[in-house]
Amino acid sequence: MIEINEYIKNYSYIVKYSPEDEAYLAKCVELGIMAHGDSQEEAIREIKEAVRVHLLMLLEDGDEIPEPKSILVRSLIL
């Protein structure tokens, strides 16, 4: 059986602040889905919940779950 939490833990996430939206935007690289929050922490919580729901829907439909990718993470100071 597929352990959804392992996928969520190992997926790649990008979080950035959007002045236009006045919010932090988070994206799951493997799934291409996005979420937002008033803080980085909230955006991360929201994207992980969105990923969990998305994966449950994939399983329910009998679709394949994408494997985690390995990406280089850099911290940028602007």
Structural domains in the chain, sorted by start = 4-61 (3.30.160)
Tell me which residue has tokens 């291409």: 32
22-47: average pLDDT: 97
- 32 vs 18: CA distance, rounded Å: 17
- 10 vs 21: CA distance, rounded Å: 28
| pTM over cut 0.95 | no
Tell me which residue has tokens 């352990």: 3
Residues whose CB is less than 8 angstroms from the CB of residue 7 and which lie 6 or more positions away in sequence, other chains included: 51, 55, 65, 68
Is the pLDDT confidence value at 78 over 60? no
Tokens matching residue 9: 């833990």
Q: Tell me: the pLDDT tens digits for 8-32?
A: 999 999 999 999 999 999 999 999 9
What band does 77 get if pLDDT is binned at 50, 70 and 90? Answer: very low
What band does 69 get if pLDDT is binned at 50, 70 and 90? Answer: confident
